[in-house]
Amino acid sequence: MPYVNIRVAGALSRQQKEEISAGVTKVIAEVAGKPENSILIFIDEVAHENIASGGKLLVPR
């Protein structure tokens, strides 16, 4: 059972998560030959204040 963990800075809408999940599922199913219903996707929304790049915390858009 393949699983994918996607981490994003900030929040996504339900629609965005549905589209991302559908697209990622389709690619894995096609490339790896796995049944779509066996693919699990976890989307972690991380607050900008919990992510740093170059030693500085990210600034929300």
Sign of the torsion angle spanned by Cα atoms 39, 40, 45, 46: negative
Are 30 and 53 within 8 A, CB to CB? no
Distance set, CA 57 to CA 8, 32, 37, 43, 44 (Å): 14, 36, 37, 21, 18
What gap in Å lies between CA 40 and CA 2, rounded to an integer? 6
Domain of 9, CATH number, reads 3.30.429.10
Q: What is the pLDDT of residue 5?
A: 98
Q: What values do phi and psi take at 53, rounded to 5?
A: -135, 130
Kindly report the pTM of this predicted structure: 0.84
Number of domains in the chain: 1
Q: Which domain holds residue 21?
A: 3-57
4-19 residue pLDDT tens: 999 999 999 999 999 9
